[in-house]
Structure 1
Amino acid sequence: MRITPLEIRQKAFERVLRGYDKDEVNAYLQSLSQEWERMQDDAKEMKIKYEATEREVAKLREVESSLYKTLKTAEDTGAHVIDQANKTAELILREAQMKADSMLNEAKNKAKNTIEESEFISKQMLVEMEERLKTLGQHYKTLELHKDNLLSDMKRLAAETIDRVDRAKTAARDFDPDQHLALAKRETKKALFPNAEVEREIKNAMALPTQPVVKEVSQPVMASETKVQKSFFDDIQ
């Protein structure tokens, strides 16, 4: 039986002799109705909270289920990934081993080819060096021959030079520089002034006494001509 606060406040009791105090009963009923109303409000609030809690629990259960599924999927995926990684690692290792073997074989072949090529080049270099040594030996012999010929020519040239020096010394002892200088001056003057003898005779003629009239007319002109024609070789005599 559900009792509301309003029913409590409106509850009426039968009157009997020597019953309870009416005011006290009414006050108590009023207090009881208020407390009952408060309890109903609390119950409603608790119900609301309970329903909210139920919804949260349902959500959490859904999340839990989702997490479980996710974890299960992750576990399965992890196992698959690990298995796939192991297979991939094995495949990579096999490929790496195959590549390493291939590179090793290739390196061995290259080393073998390099050694053979080096041996071939070394043999060629030895042959070329032997040929060069032979050529150098022939050149050395040729140079020795040229050296002997050159020494003979130098000795002959030295003897001729010494002979020429001796003859030059002998000629230098018989050389008269004053005589050669005077001869050179005369020959040079003759070559430069072939009419020098004629000029000398004209000068001598001008120095003779003449008539006064002729002397006054001709002396300045002849003096000027004599001054112009005078040269360095006149002083040499």
Structure 2
Amino acid sequence: MKVTPLDIRQKTFEKVLRGYDKDEVTAFLLSLSQEWERVQDETKEMRIKLEATEREVTKLREVESSLYKTLKTAEDTGANVIEQANKAAELHLKEVQLKAEALLNEAKTKAKDTIEQSEATSRQMVDEMEERLKTLVQNYKSIESERANLLGDLKRLAGETMDKVERLRNATSNFDPDQHLQLAKREAKQTLNPNAVNTIPPLPQHEKTENAEANNEEAAVPKHQKSFFDEIQ
């Protein structure tokens, strides 16, 4: 049975002999009703607070559920992002590896071509140097041959010159300028007047002999033998 403070205040009791003091009972009932009213007010207030708390708990549970869903979604999204990032990283790594291999192969090919080209150029340079060396050797041999010929010609020319000097020295030892002058005049007159009488005395016998020997020696030298200086004139 539900009892209110008003019920407590209005409660009446039957009168009996030697019963309780009416004033004390009334005062107690009044005090009890007031206390009961306070308890009801507190209960009502506590019920209101409980309802508010339950609403807050419901909201918190909803927030918790939303946060859980958000966290779950974030975890799933993070996992997907991580998976996609890993796949993208693997793909990028493969592309980088392929590019690196391509660059390495290209570098090897270029290095091989460069080495082959350098070797070919080196061989060509060596061949050219060998050919030039052969040409220089041939030119050197030709120069040596020309030098030997030149020395031979110089020796022969020196010998001939010494012989001529010796003959001239021998000829000038008995040379008479007056007689040679008379001989030149006589030859000039005979050339101008072949019928004129020869009045110039002839040369001495030893000069005729020396002149004849000199002419014979000059005639004895073969005309086809020419010196180096004759060839270059």
Q: TM-score, normalised by structure 1?
A: 0.49
- Report 1 or 2 for greater relative contact order, CA contacts < 8 Å, sequence distance ≥ 6: 2
More helix by share: 1
